[in-house]
Amino acid sequence: MAVVDDASLIRESFGLLMPGLDVVAAFATVEELVRRRPTVDVVLLDLHLANLEQQPDVRQGIAAIRALTSRGYRVCVYSQEERRFVLAACVAAGASGIVSKALPTGRAEQLFLEVASGGTIVPQPVVGILEVLVRRDCITLLSKRQRQILHGRARGLSYAQIAKQLFVSESTLRGYWLDLTRSLSNSLRDLTPSEIERALGLAPGDLLEFWSGEATDAKDWWRVDTGK
């Protein structure tokens, strides 16, 4: 895997702190990775990469995710970002996973490996948004069983608790959840900001401007993300 983070300490220590990861390259910017074109299973990406006043052309946020996914890379966001609509926008932009920098190192490593092997990691705040969209028929592709699983996960129930309620094994439930998160992520990418705003009862313009559109200007991402 490759790491994109503007903090040299993080770039240099990833492989040492998480020995289970095969980190073959580390870059300060997405542009540098694109120039080098390493062959990796996943790119671990920090959302907020650089001071835009010093490096105004550096892609970050949604623009960075789209720049990588458009070139065939799987992206796992690794960030301190906690705002649920920002995280949901990352999924809508094509991120296969979102991992918080606040997690213990061992847990983060486990999640990175899961994304690298083809899994999808959707954080709890985004699961809650998806569950609301399903309940309000903004996303309609789910079966009754999938809705039950999503309902449980949105309320913070563990795999073991949901498996017991549905009378299935925990391993079977994890397989259901993997398929479910992939389907939901794909559906989220197809929705427009106005559709999601209506479903969530938000005012027009409350969501990020580049929820699922082409965001290639780093200044625009920074502006809508911070409110500046």
CA 213 to chain centre: 16
Q: Tens digit of pLDDT for each residue in 133-163?
A: 888 888 887 888 888 999 998 888 888 999 9
**Which residues, in sequence order, are CB contacts of 147 under 8 Å at separation 6+?**
134
Mean pLDDT of 76-103: 88
- What pLDDT is attached to residue 193? 72
pLDDT averaged over every residue in the chain:
82
pTM: 0.78
Q: Tens digit of pLDDT for each residue in 117-138?
A: 988 888 888 888 888 888 888 8
Least confident of 15-29, 60-74, 199-213: 199-213
Confidence grade of residue 227 (pLDDT, cut at 50, 70, 90): very low
14: which 2 tokens? 């990833």
